[in-house]
Chain A
Amino acid sequence: MKESNRYLLSGNEAVAQAARDAGVGLGTGYPGTPSTEILEHFAKLGGRAQWSPNEKVALEVGLGAAFARGRALVTMKHVGLNVAADPLFTAAYTGVSGALVVVTADDPGMASSQNEQDNRRYAVAAGVPMLEPSDSQECYDFTVAAIDISERWRIPVLLRMTTRVCHSLTVVRRRDVGGPPGAPGFEHDIKGRVMVPANARPAHHRLREKLADILAWNESSGPNRWIERDNTLGIVTSGIAYMHAAEAAPRASMLKLGMAYPLPVETIRRFAGSVDRCIVIEEGDPYLVDAIRAAGITADGKAEMYRFSELSVERVRRILADDESPEPVPPKGKPPALCNTCPHRVAFTALHDLDCIVAGDIGCYTLGALPPFSAMDTCICMGASIGVGLGLRHTLPEDQARRVVSVIGDSTFVHSGITGLVEMVYNPPSTGHVVIILDNGTTAMTGLQEHPGTGRTLDHQPTGKVCYEDLARSLGIRNVHVTDPFANPDEFGILLKAALGASELAVIIARHPCLLAASKIKQYERAAKEQRLCSAVTNTGN
């Protein structure tokens, strides 16, 4: 018999579905693997979803919506939360009037990231409750739970996912989920939301009281599962690690934590006391085991070697067997490369030929660091190319300083390159500097998302468009050049050479659409033109 309420969804799709079912009024975020598909799917389901220029802005917009009694979902990858940390920490003090759910999608193993930071620590540091789903059903259920908790305790809630949970398809059953309890509206609460010291001091106390209350709830009726089996071995676990552990040790008793902050320590104490050996199986940092031991509970953890990369069934088997022998090295596959027809290739060929010192950035173009180009010398975080390039210029001997170039993609420039450009104008190196914006008209790296420089919204509708050359000129940079590296590869090299020779500030915008996006961009532009024509006709009819 085929059941109708049964869906095969990725974790990302399940979060979007739950948000839609719960009447979330606004989804904001910035793309980032593995979180990108949440907002895309939310939009596909008819939800209102927007890409922000970066995660900080996305969280602030979501916070505003939640101050207005709306339900807001804000999505980002793990490093996105570094960018959004500033509003998060103080939003924990102010709390919200509606619901604010912040998704952080961690990437243990770094399938597509520059580090494997463990964002569970953010929940502790900011003081926000954190739910950790282990499959798509829990992505659905915990999104709903996060909204409930956020509304009940008027606090932002962190939904911490990982790559495997985001991208795995598993079976989901939807539920009847109620929409927002009331309509949006504004109530003044100056003491509660204006975080000057006199207001923030009591707000911090209020936050700790809320967390104590949430802890008590988590101990008694939180989304945690105590599965009693054989009492010789008990496993405390959360997130995807639960699935691996349940498969590796089918007879072990399990305490699967759905809400790992505030940590239900007393439940864990009782669980640990009920088994002969208690071991904590967690992916990434020793967050759980450290907290559990700090509470005076005896529990084993994993060896340091298992902090790195993802867990798996075989790695959990090794942890349970205290096996610290070297692990088999997986065979190296073929690494990714810039597409054969990628316009970025022209820039990296020139940077290589001119022996530049390249302060790079993050995007498809980071592949310019690989042979045959080997034309990128640093890559840290989004936007860092400009600041790092300036620091190099300030410090290197002159002959080397003159060869320093900052290279940044278009989406990355809007995300966090603009302030770097301001820094360049404000504190210019004596040798000048050269910034190259690789404008391929899309966020290619994460799967071709729109951004403020494309002039189209998340769902590809025309909107305001940021013009980089106007922006650079408005800052007082005189040498601003726009060139098509594909149509005119020689010109790019000539411009770069001239800019390197001058002791001035220069911005070179290499503009040619990503070949994977080009036909879609044409389609969107055609649709926009037709729309304009249509509205012109109706306007004249008025």
Chain B
Amino acid sequence: MVKRITNVVFAGLGGQGVLKASDILAQAAFRQGFDVKKSEIHGMSQRGGSVTSDVRFGDEVLSPMVPEGETDYLVVLAPEEVDNNRGRLRDGGVLIKPDDIDATALPHAKSLNVALLGVLSAHLDLPESDWVEAIHAALPEKLHKLNDRAFAIGRSVGNKR
């Protein structure tokens, strides 16, 4: 039996919400009953350095790290981190990057991470309700509305691609 696993890598800079974004995806996949692993190195990430986070889900996930060149979706939050991480994509993998979104349309610059999740969501077979629940679980209530909007903006961009 071939076990199909979806591999997503998030990349950006400390403070951009990379880990928050990967948390939300991991939660959304978890809610669908998938085996999920999410992995990153945090430590100095708060100090503005490069951060990446891997999320893998499917029937059974073994290593928590996405092997080189096996990334299905690479979601990059900082333009300067695109080149560093492009090599992790598999042939035919999808790159989702900040300029996929019209930044001026975002309700807040900090919601870029959730907007890019919106783009990603259009590619993945996870119900929208799980995404929304995962976003709400990850963020304080006063930020829910704003991030719902950011997610919707991203999702419509993704649906048009």
Enumerate chain A interface residues (CB-CB to B < 8 A). 1-3, 6, 8, 33-34, 109, 111-112, 135, 163-164, 167-171, 240, 243-244, 246-247, 312-314, 328, 331-339, 364, 367, 447, 516
Considering the chains assembled together, what is the distance between the CA atoms of A135 and B39 in angstroms? 11
Contacts of B36 in A (CB 8 A): 8, 169-171
Selected A-B contacts with CB under 8 Å, 29 pairs = A1-B33, A8-B26, A8-B27, A109-B41, A135-B37, A167-B39, A167-B42, A168-B64, A169-B23, A169-B26, A170-B64, A243-B62, A246-B62, A246-B63, A312-B68, A313-B65, A314-B68, A331-B84, A331-B87, A332-B84, A334-B50, A334-B80, A335-B49, A336-B45, A336-B46, A336-B49, A337-B47, A339-B47, A367-B47
Considering the chains assembled together, what is the distance between the CA atoms of A335 and B64 in angstroms? 24
Interchain residue pairs A-B with the least CB separation, the first 4: A333-B50, A112-B43, A336-B47, A336-B49
> Which residues 90-124 of B sit at the A interface, judged by CB distance below 8 A?
none
Most chain B beta carbons < 10 A, residue from A3, A328, A334: A334
Range for the number of chain B residues in contact with chain A: 35 or more
Task: From B26, B43, B64, give the contact of A34 (CB < 8 A).
Answer: B43
Q: B48, A336: Cβ atoms under 8 Å?
A: yes
Task: From A167, A169, A313, A334, give the contact of B63 (CB < 8 A).
Answer: A313
Contacts of A313 in B (CB 8 A): 63, 65, 67
Assuming the A-B contacts A8-B26, A167-B42, are A312 and B49 also in contact, with contact meaning beta carbons closer than 8 angstroms in the complex?
no
Q: A337, B49: Cβ atoms under 8 Å?
A: yes
Map CB proximity to A onto B28-40 as digits: 1 under 8 Å, 0 otherwise.
0011010111111
Q: Which residue of B lies closest to A8 (CB)?
A: B30
Most chain A beta carbons < 10 A, residue from B33, B46, B63: B63
Enumerate chain B interface residues (CB-CB to A < 8 A). 13-14, 23, 26-27, 30-31, 33, 35-50, 52, 61-65, 67-68, 80-81, 83-85, 87
Assuming the A-B contacts A168-B39, A312-B65, are A2 and B33 also in contact, with contact meaning beta carbons closer than 8 angstroms in the complex?
yes
Q: Is the interface of B mostly helix, strand, loop or mixed?
A: mixed
Contacts of B13 in A (CB 8 A): 334
Considering the chains assembled together, what is the distance between the CA atoms of A335 and B51 in angstroms? 10
Apart from A135-B37, A313-B63, what are 6 other A-B pairs with CB-CB below 8 Å?
A112-B44, A170-B38, A243-B63, A244-B65, A247-B67, A337-B47
Q: B43, A111: Cβ atoms under 8 Å?
A: yes
Q: A331, B67: Cβ atoms under 8 Å?
A: no
Q: Which residue of A lies closest to B43 (CB)?
A: A112
| B118, chain A: closest CB distance, angstroms | 21
Q: B41, A168: Cβ atoms under 8 Å?
A: no
| A105, chain B: closest CB distance, angstroms | 11
Contacts of B65 in A (CB 8 A): 164, 244, 312-313
Considering the chains assembled together, what is the distance between the CA atoms of A171 and B44 in angstroms? 26
| B27, chain A: closest CB distance, angstroms | 7
Contacts of B68 in A (CB 8 A): 312, 314, 328
Q: B38, A169: Cβ atoms under 8 Å?
A: yes
Contacts of A339 in B (CB 8 A): 47-48
Q: B30, A171: Cβ atoms under 8 Å?
A: yes
Q: Which residue of A lies closest to B65 (CB)?
A: A312
Contacts of B37 in A (CB 8 A): 135, 168-170
Contacts of B46 in A (CB 8 A): 336, 447, 516
Considering the chains assembled together, what is the distance between the CA atoms of A335 and B45 in angstroms? 9
Q: Which residue of B lies closest to A310 (CB)?
A: B65
Q: Which residue of A lies closest to B54 (CB)?
A: A168
Contacts of B52 in A (CB 8 A): 333
Considering the chains assembled together, what is the distance between the CA atoms of A335 and B33 in angstroms? 37
Considering the chains assembled together, what is the distance between the CA atoms of A8 and B64 in angstroms? 13
Contacts of A367 in B (CB 8 A): 47
| B62, chain A: closest CB distance, angstroms | 4
Considering the chains assembled together, what is the distance between the CA atoms of A447 and B65 in angstroms? 24
Task: From B23, B35, B45, B63, give the contact of A312 (CB < 8 A).
Answer: B63
Most chain A beta carbons < 10 A, residue from B23, B39, B61: B39
Contacts of A332 in B (CB 8 A): 84
Q: Which residue of A lies closest to B80 (CB)?
A: A334
Contacts of A333 in B (CB 8 A): 49-50, 52, 81, 84
